[in-house]
Structure 1
Amino acid sequence: MIVVTDACLPLLALGEAPVSARVLINYELPSKETYLRRMATCLAADGIVINVVVGGEVITLKNIEESSSLVIAEMPINISEIL
């Protein structure tokens, strides 16, 4: 599992290897570009992303989902269902 900020992401342009975490947690919803970059550089192929969103961020998350052909589902009550 990795809790991400931009500061901890590998810089692929500088030759660092991707992280390949199984779970990625966004405590603050990033921009669409940053969201996609985090998925590409930090997430394993079978990994999941957990987004902590508040209020108006739901609209932003839906926009990310629609504009990038992702399926972002609401997290179930029992997190073990997705792990």
Structure 2
Amino acid sequence: MNPQTVLTAGQEALVLMLTVSMPLLGTVMVVGLVVSIFQAITQISESTLSFVPKLLAAVLVFAMAGPWMLSTLVDYLRRTIESIPTLVA
């Protein structure tokens, strides 16, 4: 196993992590921005007003994109485990 193989595996893992987490992070960021603008306009400083919509959006994204996220991670894990004999030898 050479350093290039390790760097390639690490890069692939980081790209996969970003790809899988982007739907959730993007949605929560947009909902947070909309709620923050609403709070600034109405001058309401209720903390649950910012937390509950983000939580509901995260649950909705997990319900919609969860199967894709899980299958992507399982495929990556399967490929990684199957490549162990070639990496060791």
**In which range does the TM-score fall when normalised by the shorter chain?**
under 0.3
- More strand by proportion, 1 or 2? 1
- More helix by proportion, 1 or 2? 2
TM-score normalised according to structure 1 size: 0.22
TM-score normalised according to structure 2 size: 0.21
